[in-house]
Structure 1
């Protein structure tokens, strides 16, 4: 067996670790409407440039995201009796734990700065008002707008470095239990293998990969009312044929210079304009009104987006910030 075949066989062996994702009703099985709440300035920038601005997870508002999950994963690996039994020797277990921690450390130092998230909230088609808590938290205290996209118009690409999924909300204990149970699943797979010094690093990598993906889509239960979905750019999945690194950029805001991924869909394998994804644009409740809608429509005309004018809605929530 050549090296490529051996690598493919190893990857296939760990596919069951992703079965929980496959069994859930998520994208692309379902194609929900998703709303991105933001400021009017960002909406203008998106429409003017045709770019979706993805944020780096290290600049996001839940400090437990990503880095916390990865730290918890390292601790759980070191404490896993199931892994120790599956690897059959103390030295092999120590090598596995060391390699796992090195993968986490390398990802945090070299890759996480180039991992990006576009956050959205699940949106009911008939809702033309938006959600009050989302306006308060993300829609410029009601002074912004929500861009609602129809994911049914987005073609699923198996080779894309983008992952689309809903967020799982958990308490700290639930998150810890999930990781521990996933390590038990991994241990059952490893126990059926012939593990050697030359293969233990690759085995640790596949376990790390599953827990890394989990870290992108887990969030503290206190945020559950957001009904968040995410589009993740995963640098581990990027490859020369698509090369999303071409979209690495930055923005300057209240926290200084922030890394961004400014994704122009027309220049990707999706080959479509952002405007083609938009189902409606809801103007926030503190700026809503007949004149605000007309001014917004004028902006669309000046941005050469007249087809979006009929998709503008005005939130009727009685909220004035």
Structure 2
């Protein structure tokens, strides 16, 4: 979401994203979501030996992997946007868009599907994952389900014991588990894990306001068959349901056209603000 209350201000923010051709991912340590990540693992770690055969031998790895995940994970958080919700949803505007007077960017996330990523050619690893919303009493059962259904194919450069793979999978999945009370967000997270073994390409890191970010280049990566250029992934701009919507729509339209993005649709939200 891009927040703001003046049409030129909002269009300018969108233009700055397009001009930089970068999408910045925040470090997990700078987000309050580390608390929920810790809650998930604090509950699961004592139970891990009973979740998978041989788990006792590798349960000690979980605290170590947890610290690696916490310090080396970069996140860009989005909301799921479905065709039957043409103008977004109330929780989207109420939580993220500056009193409903901003705009929402709708992007195609299919290039981020784990099956579409070839990190060896890409030079870094980035992918999407839905956030799971889990009640406190269901945390251990959810971890067991994660272990049972997630394949470890292509996760590791060499074969590793199944229980060790499960420990890594659970620690990584913790980044995308939140309390059931936040379910209305329907969050999708784009994730980058730093320090992927065997990849020598240096990370594109940026610094601002004392914080560190991973910068994903909004471009095509032909060798990896991975295209995240704006012309490929930008589908719509949704105008928030408050303020001078027509003026914001007109200015955003001019900005998009100036960047050769005439195919990008503009939708004015009809969701009533409350």
**What pairs up with 1:168-207 in 2 under 5 angstroms?**
168-179=132-143, 205-207=164-166
Residues 71 and 119 of structure 1: is their aligned pair in 2 closer, same or farther, counting only changes over 3 Å? same
- For residues 209 and 51 of structure 1, the distance between their equivalents in structure 2, rounded to whole angstroms, comes to 29
TM-score by length of 2: 0.75
Unaligned runs of 5+ in 1: 1-36, 186-200
- For residues 204 and 17 of structure 2, the distance between their equivalents in structure 1, rounded to whole angstroms, comes to 14
* 2:190 maps to 1:231: yes
Q: Is the 8 A contact 2:65 2:168 kept in 1?
A: no
**What pairs up with 1:76-87 in 2 under 5 angstroms?**
76-77=47-48, 80-81=49-50
- For residues 126 and 181 of structure 1, the distance between their equivalents in structure 2, rounded to whole angstroms, comes to 30
Q: Is the 8 A contact 2:26 2:214 kept in 1?
A: yes
Aligned residue number for residue 141 of structure 1 = 99
Which whole-Å deviations, capped at 9, do the CAs of 1:209-246 have from their partners, x for residues lacking one? 111222122111111111111221122546436x3x43
Q: Is the 8 A contact 1:118 1:231 kept in 2?
A: yes
Aligned residue number for residue 283 of structure 1 = 239
Which whole-Å deviations, capped at 9, do the CAs of 1:33-57 have from their partners, x for residues lacking one? xxxx232465343222121121223
Give the number of the structure whose alpha-carbon radius of gyration is greater: 1
Unaligned runs of 5+ in 2: 4-9, 149-159
* 2:16 maps to 1:45: yes
Which whole-Å deviations, capped at 9, do the CAs of 1:111-155 have from their partners, x for residues lacking one? x33311122222122533211111111122212211111234668
Q: Give the 4+ runs in structure 1 shifted more than 4 A.
A: 152-155, 180-183, 201-204
Relative to structure 2, which stretch is displaced further, 162-171 or 229-238? 229-238
- For residues 230 and 146 of structure 1, the distance between their equivalents in structure 2, rounded to whole angstroms, comes to 16
Aligned residue number for residue 259 of structure 1 = 212
TM-score by length of 1: 0.65
Picking from 206, 230, 233, the partner of 1:249 is 206
Aligned residue number for residue 297 of structure 1 = 253
Which whole-Å deviations, capped at 9, do the CAs of 1:155-195 have from their partners, x for residues lacking one? 81243612222121101111133235667x6xxxxxxxxxx
Which protein has the bigger helix share? Answer: 1
* 2:134 maps to 1:167: no
- For residues 128 and 77 of structure 2, the distance between their equivalents in structure 1, rounded to whole angstroms, comes to 10
Relative to structure 2, which stretch is displaced further, 271-280 or 63-72? 63-72
Aligned residue number for residue 317 of structure 1 = 271
- For residues 81 and 154 of structure 1, the distance between their equivalents in structure 2, rounded to whole angstroms, comes to 33
Q: Is the 8 A contact 2:37 2:175 kept in 1?
A: yes
- For residues 19 and 85 of structure 2, the distance between their equivalents in structure 1, rounded to whole angstroms, comes to 26
Picking from 106, 117, 121, the partner of 1:157 is 117
Deviation at 1:317, TM superposition (A): 2.5
Q: Secondary structure at the match of 2:142?
A: helix
* 2:261 maps to 1:307: yes
Q: Secondary structure at the match of 2:88?
A: coil
- For residues 228 and 207 of structure 2, the distance between their equivalents in structure 1, rounded to whole angstroms, comes to 23
- For residues 308 and 114 of structure 1, the distance between their equivalents in structure 2, rounded to whole angstroms, comes to 38
Q: Secondary structure at the match of 1:53?
A: strand
Residues 152 and 75 of structure 1: is their aligned pair in 2 closer, same or farther, counting only changes over 3 Å? closer
- For residues 226 and 284 of structure 1, the distance between their equivalents in structure 2, rounded to whole angstroms, comes to 16
Q: Is the 8 A contact 1:146 1:284 kept in 2?
A: yes
Q: Is the 8 A contact 2:36 2:178 kept in 1?
A: yes
